Structure 1
Amino acid sequence: MAKIALGKIQEAFQPDCIQALVVEFICTFLFVFAGVGAAMATEKQDGSPLVGLFFVAMAHTLVVAAMISAGLRISGGHINPAVTLGLCMGGRITVVRSILYWFDQCLASVAACALLSYLTGGLATPIHTLGSGVDYTQGIIMEIVLTFSLLFTVFATLVDPKKGAIEGFGPLLTGLVVGANIMAGGAFSGASMNPARSFGPALVSGNWTDHFVYWVGPLIGGGLAGFIYENFFIVSTHIPLSDNEVY
């Protein structure tokens, strides 16, 4: 069974960790900028909700695939606290570095949303909220399922050493599952799957409606998927962690 590695506070001062945090900030910033920007653009156009949802889903598909690819070698390209937690539960990143990543990802999200607000002349920053008729329990369960599928894909296509024919396609496949999940769950829970992606818009807009759903659901789903995949599907002599291992 994979062991969760606590790590040491000294990690924060190691050159490889500093480099990883810089790259993680950049990738998360660009991801949120494109994702939230796409949502703002659809609201500005005031078109069909279905077309808008598809547009947002496709934007997230493309930017997730690109940013994972961009950050994979240095930071792992997590761009998501739920991904970081899932990898931590699988013993693939230390608790200390996970916490640093969380702060980094949330700060990048706030910076991206603040810049979008400025560049669009103060256009409202859309937040994740529950759809009409969806209660907290339903929203949390939806986010658990969607984030579980995201992390299951991350582990199967990026982490598992036996990738087979899909070797090298992990970032694209992860982007595709994000897009599909937005199409499936966007109208109900908002399909965040990413606490940082929800945090930035909420802070910049000052609107915290339903916000806890987008921490509770994704973190449960991500942590559960990481624990299950690592311990039940990876036949491994994997020795946790070198200090700079992420995937």
Structure 2
Amino acid sequence: MVASSLTPDLVLSGGILSAQIVPALASGSLVGLVLGLIGGGGSILAVPLLIYLVGVRNPHVAIGTSAFAVAINALAGLVTHAREHTVKWRCAGFFAPAGMIGAALGAHLGKAMDGQRLLLLFAALMVLVGIAMIRGRHDQGIPGAACNRDNVWKVGLFGLCTGGLSGFFGIGGGFLIVPALMAATHMPVLNAVGTSLVAVAAFGVTTAASYALSGLVDWSLALWFILGGVAGCVIGTRLARAMGQGSGATLKLVFAALIFIVAGYIVFKTV
């Protein structure tokens, strides 16, 4: 636990402040809601929410804590996708290990960088993510596509690169992993989402372990964030089913706009 990450208030036995529980639950719920609605991208909001809404002062603690929380939420989502047989386990077997190497290297570099500079780079990544969501909102992939001897090197290379970014910024990286899997194999988006959860969990655990060894994970805060995320994901999934598949592109546009706003706020507060 890092004391510098907490604001002055009454401290509970677990370490989290009483004033942080409700914001942590709300933040986790928002991230889970987005994940349930559009199948990815919600984790990009985790770090800004922990810093600006929950009140975590140390950006590195926010990154380490969010990495663990996102990994657990990804495992919960993976169970559902595994039951529906939407996970391409062979692809995950190549993508995730390569990404874990990248995540370990990325986390090492992220911890060595100044926290404020890291936030500015994070804002730049958010803008790129928003643009990518707008451009790829209609891409659905090719049914039946999977990993083979011709594209396995692409799968490993994309895994290494996305894992590096995931570890560096402490994000799940689903918004990067899904298009990376589709670009490497042309698999359908549903399979890419299901398969990406294996990598998101693996990257998150690797990043969180690296930050935990440096004492940069607030475990109590992560627990409340996870509880909120599970609830939000359930609600988001039900809303997505009620709204139908055709609303996916519109939801991604709305979420991209939200990303641009949050990125602008990060730059404003940091500069």
TM-score clears 0.5? no
**Greater helix share, 1 or 2?**
2
Q: Which has the higher contact order (CA 8 A, sep 6+)?
A: 2
Bucket of the pairwise TM-score, normalised by the shorter protein: 0.3 to 0.5
